[in-house]
Structure 1
Amino acid sequence: MESRYYTIGMAGHIDHGKTTLTKALTNIDTDRLKEEKERKISIELGYAPLQTKDGTHVSIVDVPGHERFIRQMIAGVAGIDLVVLVIAADEGVMPQTKEHLEILEFLGVKRCIVAVTKIDRVDEELLELVGMDISEALAETSFKDAPMVYVDSVTSVGVEQLKEKIFTELKSVEFRDRHGSFRLPIDQVFTVQGQGTVVRGTIYEGVVTTGSQLIVLPSGQKVKARNIQVHHNNVKEASAGQRTAINLGGINRSELKRGDVLVATDHFLVSDTIDVLVRFVRDLQAAIKQRSPVKLHVGTSEVTGKIIFFDRNVIQEATDEVLCQIRLDNSIVVRRGDRFILRRPTPAETIGGGWIIDPNSQKYPFGQQTISMLEKKKKGTPEDLIKHALENFKALDIKQLIQETSLDQVEVEGILTSRVEDEIIVILPNKRFTLSSLLIKVEEQLVENLKEYHDANPMRLGRDKAELVQILTNEFPKELIDFHLNMMLDKNMIKKEGQFISLTVFKSHLPDNWKKRMKQVIRNIENDQLAVGKWEEYVKDKPFSKADADELKNYLIQTGQAYRLTDDFLIHKRSLDKAIEQLKSNTETTFTLKDAKEVLGVSRKYLIPILELLDQLRLTRRKESEREWV
């Protein structure tokens, strides 16, 4: 049976007993800093393992409750499976409690247990009132049905009941993705003497093993996992859901910071523009205007940026959902579906949160068209996301599809396999993928382009392949065009003569409007036999243009009806064939220029170009002053 790994968070107002309750559950004091012990408040995130009867691995994150440490609080609850909301019986629900509740909802935390602490400080009547106050505060949240446990952390009253309730709730939590690409957002960086740089965080997905080659993003620096610990125990591997410390080789402490992301593959993109779905808090202190500065908290990152609306210019009060974009001042590493919190820098407050629709976006125009597009992105299934990526980029390999869709490798490969079999997706020779519907569009444009070309240039053999490909690369990648041209050749839909491509049904011909006049030119050349005149003389005073005359000249040469003697002279094929027959009949195996002149009876003006043409056609081969028949 696959091991289960979970992370639960202790959240709540300052001095409501989170750290004491964590110690009662785990026997570990998570306040490790001298300042924390002196001030009796948590400043940094604290961690402790919770032992379970069935071997399930559980980490408790004790997050700071003071409003000054809200950044650490957000980093702590990012990636947790269950939250224990701690509320002191002698104070009840406080403003910080309400903000924590909103943050938990925005981050998509689905399961909550309320731990009412310090019950020794109030009588039963007041405890009942506190319970009612808590129920009222939770009524408008997704945690309205959260179970409530009353505890005294000092005497351990209710602690075992809380443990049992935690284990019961965790049984309903979905497994984290052990099989995805490894990703660990870093929330702590420190140095251990004799060991070097250590980072700590909760593994969002995948597995890391000792000796793994890893990448720090967004810097892209490559590192090695020299040692891995889970709650101070050395392990060979750590999986999604586990709190993990990794000793990294190849990097200094100064080169890392909270918010960096440790990954094992190049499947992750670094981005500074994200499409998002946001819900705003119920009580905004001030309106949020177009391009307002915001702080984005996602994973363990805190990045400033601007919020961009596409269907409004201001948010005055809470709304159900707003599709918008955040343009960041620095790059981040996220995936589709990641949850985030938005805070206003001044006055400092949480203004909303939501999830990332597209982690690697671009600028869009203001208007309903953009909103409709974002709506489609939001609703997209994994298959839709793959299709959308292929529609945008036309052809992608597996790595690029993973990057563009934020799906894991197993899911992408599964969809590609099934859709290739269904002929919806096509594998290109270089192991890239495209949509069969795109290939149909390529074919339609190739056929349409060739038809138009044939109509405009009936005397040409076809369109130059390089020219044809260049025209279509404005819309399709070259590999897609080449692939489909080869496929059309195999299906006999098109033909290729040298560098020229044409539809199979097409045959070069004289244009109907000048057919008579052009045929007359051809007859005149044939009638003059070997003593032809200059090309310009044949087409002079003809009603068709010089461009048409040039087309006719090329047509005669390309179709083999005539041969070029010089730049000025063409000879008709039948005239040349007759000359060849006369020469063969009246010369020996070898012959001289004088012999040829006697047979053909033409001047050197024509004779030398004719003999050189026979050499070009490989009918004869020149040897000093003689030629021999091949």
Structure 2
Amino acid sequence: MEKRYFTIGMAGHIDHGKTSLTKALTNIDTDRLKEEKERQISIELGFAPLYEDDEIQISVIDVPGHERFIRQMIAGVAGIDLVVLVVAADEGVMPQTREHLDILKFLGVKNGIVAITKTDRVDEDFIELVKDDILGELTGTVFEDAPFVLVDSLSKKGIDEIKELIIKKLKEQEMRDAKGAFRLPIDQVFTVKGQGTVVRGTVYEGTVEEGQVLKIMPRGLEVRARQIQVHHKQAQKAYAGQRAAINLSGVSKEDLERGDVLVSSEHFIVSRVIDVAITVVEELEHLIKQRMPIKLHIGTAEVMGRIVFFDRNEVKEENGEILCQLRLEEEILTKRGDRFILRRPSPTETIGGGWVIDPRGNKYRFGDETISELEKKKVGSPKERITAALLEAKSLPLTELIKRTALDEETLAEHLENEDDFVLYNGKEYTLKQLIDAIEEDIYDRLRDFHNQHSMKAGVNKAELIQTMQKRFPKALLEFVVENGITNEVFQRKGQFVSLATFMPHVPKSWAKRTENLLEEMKKDGLKVRYLKDYFTAAGIPANLEHDLRRFLEDQGFIMMLDEQYAYYGGVFNGAVEKLRSGTGAEFEVGDAKEILDLSRKYMIPFLERLDANGYTKRVENKRVWKN
């Protein structure tokens, strides 16, 4: 069974015992900063390994509970698979408990456990009241059926029980997508002496390997994963669901910040205008007004922007989703389906959250027509969802398409088989016909430009051609398009070289006459030629053209190289071979050849060695034997 990786989060009001519970579960104090120790509150995210066996690995994030550190809290829980909602028995549900619940709901965290801490401070009757209080808050949320565990971090009461429950729940849960393109929203940047810049975060999707070339988005900086650590242990790879620290080369700490995203693919979209579906909190303190400033929390990024409505000018309360747009002051990296939180900058409060319908929003008119278009985008027909998934990934197997489109196999198969827009290649991968056409056009343009610049060369080395395009498209897809183009006579192949089907290597027009003169002179000199370089010089061929022209003339059979210095005109060489063959028997000696061709040793030995090299003859002691 493939190993699975998960990260859980501790959420709840300040001083309700999240850090103590984390320590009781992991034996690690996640409050590592001096200020955290002095003030006895969590300011930054804390991390610890919780459990590992052959089939599962679990990490813990302890998020700050204080309202001043809500950004850190959101950054921490944005990548979690299960939440432990921590409520102190002596205080019950508090304001930050409610806000954290809202945030978890908007971020789509569905798997939860309620930990009632500090149970040693109150009697059993009071604990029942606290349970009722919590149930009242959870009713109508995804956590209303979440199990309760009574714990005391000092006496270790309930610690084994909650740990076993976490493991059980996660063993029943699907892990994040480890097969897609790698994405890690950065929540910490720091330096390690002698190592350089290190970033840390939860791997949202995909896999990263040591030595892999990556990009920091939206900055577009290229970096290399010099070293990977998972919980302070070196690892060759990090997988979706894991907490990972990655030592990067090619970038300094000052170039990065929390909110940047480390990715392996250029297919992710960077945008400042996103179409979204939002839900607002149940009890808004203030109106949400048209074009009001908002603070968007997405992944680990925090970006200022404005909210734009198309069917209203304000929101006081709303039970359903509102389709609208966020216009941001800075670019973010996002994709369809990403969850986010919206907060009011002043006075600060969480006002809602939602998910990204389209990361490439346009400018729309106010009115029902726009809402109708956004509704279509939101729902997305099966064909649109398949197309969107393939546009992003370029090529996917059926199992991956099922995950990315959320369509059942039967519906998916029906559209893949009956739509001309989708192409199955290699017997297992799907792509879009429009992508095949676009890649073929790109290759066509590259080959045309190459032929214009290098008209004497047979074409482009196929392996090099594919390598230059591999950053944008999977290698297997590029191989398919090239071979498909050859089958359809758009391209042709000669050895390892690919060219346009209509292309014939030729001497550039500006040098054609001089090349004719060069060949005429070689033909006239017969078997007693000068140095080849002398012919080039006499014909006025520039030195920088000599190599390519010589290779072309040789490939096309216009000349035959004897060695590095001498060459015969092709027809002359062929005539000499026939003359020698006619004048000898099955075998001959050097003296026989000299007499028949009237050649000095200067030409004779290279000529005979060329016959051997070309497979006409074979040397046996002092004789040559004709091979055929």
Same fold (TM over 0.5): yes
Deviation at 1:137, TM superposition (A): 1.4
Deviation at 1:95, TM superposition (A): 0.9
1:574-589 matches, cutoff 5 A: none
The answer to whether structure 1 residue 425 and structure 2 residue 421 are counterparts is yes
What secondary structure, in the 3-state scheme, does the structure 2 residue paired with 1:294 have?
strand
Partner residue, 2:208 = 208
Once the two structures are superposed, residues 131-167 of structure 1 have per-residue CA deviations (whole angstroms, 9 ceiling, x without a partner) of 1111111113221111000000011000001011111
Are 1:267 and 1:402, in contact at CA under 8 Å, matched by a contact in 2? no
Are 2:30 and 2:47, in contact at CA under 8 Å, matched by a contact in 1? yes
Q: Give the AA of the match of 1:422.
A: N
Q: Report the Cα distance in structure 2 between the residues aligned to 1:66 and 1:400, rounded to whole angstroms.
A: 40
Partner residue, 2:11 = 11
Deviation at 1:111, TM superposition (A): 0.9
Q: Give the AA of the match of 2:15.
A: D
Are 2:382 and 2:412, in contact at CA under 8 Å, matched by a contact in 1? no
Are 2:184 and 2:202, in contact at CA under 8 Å, matched by a contact in 1? yes
Change (3 A) 1:327 1:409: farther
Q: Report the Cα distance in structure 2 between the residues aligned to 1:410 and 1:129, rounded to whole angstroms.
A: 42
Q: Report the Cα distance in structure 1 between the residues aligned to 2:195 and 2:5, rounded to whole angstroms.
A: 26
Once the two structures are superposed, residues 468-516 of structure 1 have per-residue CA deviations (whole angstroms, 9 ceiling, x without a partner) of xxxxxxxxxxxxxxxxxxx9xxxxxxxxxxxxxxxxxxxxxxxxxxxxx
Once the two structures are superposed, residues 192-219 of structure 1 have per-residue CA deviations (whole angstroms, 9 ceiling, x without a partner) of 0000000000001000000000000001
Are 1:419 and 1:425, in contact at CA under 8 Å, matched by a contact in 2? no
What secondary structure, in the 3-state scheme, does the structure 2 residue paired with 1:270 have?
strand
Partner residue, 1:160 = 160
1:196-275 matches, cutoff 5 A: 196-275=196-275
Are 2:383 and 2:415, in contact at CA under 8 Å, matched by a contact in 1? no
Deviation at 1:120, TM superposition (A): 0.6
Q: Report the Cα distance in structure 2 between the residues aligned to 1:111 and 1:387, rounded to whole angstroms.
A: 30
Q: Identity, % of aligned pairs?
A: 61
Higher alpha-carbon deviation: 230-239 or 354-363: 354-363
Taking structure 1 as the reference length, what is the TM-score of the superposition? 0.64
Change (3 A) 1:402 1:61: farther
Deviation at 1:417, TM superposition (A): 10
Partner residue, 1:101 = 101
Deviation at 1:61, TM superposition (A): 0.3
Change (3 A) 1:276 1:402: farther
Q: Report the Cα distance in structure 2 between the residues aligned to 1:388 and 1:181, rounded to whole angstroms.
A: 15
Q: Report the Cα distance in structure 2 between the residues aligned to 1:49 and 1:130, rounded to whole angstroms.
A: 30
Are 2:402 and 2:412, in contact at CA under 8 Å, matched by a contact in 1? no
Are 1:180 and 1:410, in contact at CA under 8 Å, matched by a contact in 2? no
1:53-132 matches, cutoff 5 A: 55-132=55-132
Once the two structures are superposed, residues 420-451 of structure 1 have per-residue CA deviations (whole angstroms, 9 ceiling, x without a partner) of 753521779xx973399xxxxxxxxxxxxxxx
Are 1:114 and 1:147, in contact at CA under 8 Å, matched by a contact in 2? yes
Q: Report the Cα distance in structure 2 between the residues aligned to 1:170 and 1:313, rounded to whole angstroms.
A: 43
Q: Report the Cα distance in structure 1 between the residues aligned to 2:401 and 2:188, rounded to whole angstroms.
A: 26
Are 2:387 and 2:432, in contact at CA under 8 Å, matched by a contact in 1? no
Partner residue, 1:612 = none
Q: Report the Cα distance in structure 1 between the residues aligned to 2:165 and 2:268, rounded to whole angstroms.
A: 37
Partner residue, 2:289 = 289
Q: Report the Cα distance in structure 2 between the residues aligned to 1:328 and 1:290, rounded to whole angstroms.
A: 14
Deviation at 1:171, TM superposition (A): 2.2
Partner residue, 1:340 = 340
Structure 2 residue runs without a partner (length 5+): 425-430, 437-487, 489-628
Q: Report the Cα distance in structure 1 between the residues aligned to 2:169 and 2:413, rounded to whole angstroms.
A: 37
Structure 1 residue runs without a partner (length 5+): 390-396, 437-486, 488-630
Work out which of the two has the higher radius of gyration on C-alpha atoms and give 1 or 2: 1
Q: Report the Cα distance in structure 1 between the residues aligned to 2:392 and 2:239, rounded to whole angstroms.
A: 22
Are 1:402 and 1:409, in contact at CA under 8 Å, matched by a contact in 2? no
What secondary structure, in the 3-state scheme, does the structure 2 residue paired with 1:23 have?
helix
Are 1:181 and 1:409, in contact at CA under 8 Å, matched by a contact in 2? no
Q: Give the AA of the match of 1:112.
A: G
Are 2:48 and 2:61, in contact at CA under 8 Å, matched by a contact in 1? yes
Partner residue, 2:485 = none
Taking structure 2 as the reference length, what is the TM-score of the superposition? 0.64
Deviation at 1:318, TM superposition (A): 3.1
Q: Report the Cα distance in structure 1 between the residues aligned to 2:160 and 2:419, rounded to whole angstroms.
A: 57
What secondary structure, in the 3-state scheme, does the structure 1 residue paired with 2:269 have?
coil
Q: Report the Cα distance in structure 2 between the residues aligned to 1:146 and 1:409, rounded to whole angstroms.
A: 28
Change (3 A) 1:54 1:114: farther
Partner residue, 1:365 = 365
Are 2:25 and 2:159, in contact at CA under 8 Å, matched by a contact in 1? yes
Deviation at 1:175, TM superposition (A): 1.7
Q: Report the Cα distance in structure 2 between the residues aligned to 1:370 and 1:360, rounded to whole angstroms.
A: 15
Higher alpha-carbon deviation: 287-296 or 373-382: 373-382
Structure 1 residue ranges, 4+ long, deviating more than 2 angstroms after superposition: 52-55, 385-389, 397-403, 407-412, 414-424, 431-436
Higher alpha-carbon deviation: 168-177 or 339-348: 168-177
What secondary structure, in the 3-state scheme, does the structure 2 residue paired with 1:320 have?
coil
Partner residue, 1:307 = 307
Q: Report the Cα distance in structure 2 between the residues aligned to 1:323 and 1:303, rounded to whole angstroms.
A: 20
Change (3 A) 1:408 1:213: farther
Partner residue, 1:625 = none
Q: Report the Cα distance in structure 2 between the residues aligned to 1:17 and 1:367, rounded to whole angstroms.
A: 49
Q: Report the Cα distance in structure 2 between the residues aligned to 1:334 and 1:402, rounded to whole angstroms.
A: 20
Change (3 A) 1:314 1:127: same
Are 1:427 and 1:434, in contact at CA under 8 Å, matched by a contact in 2? no
Q: Report the Cα distance in structure 2 between the residues aligned to 1:220 and 1:341, rounded to whole angstroms.
A: 25
Deviation at 1:339, TM superposition (A): 0.5
Q: Report the Cα distance in structure 1 between the residues aligned to 2:92 and 2:349, rounded to whole angstroms.
A: 22
What secondary structure, in the 3-state scheme, does the structure 2 residue paired with 1:87 have?
strand
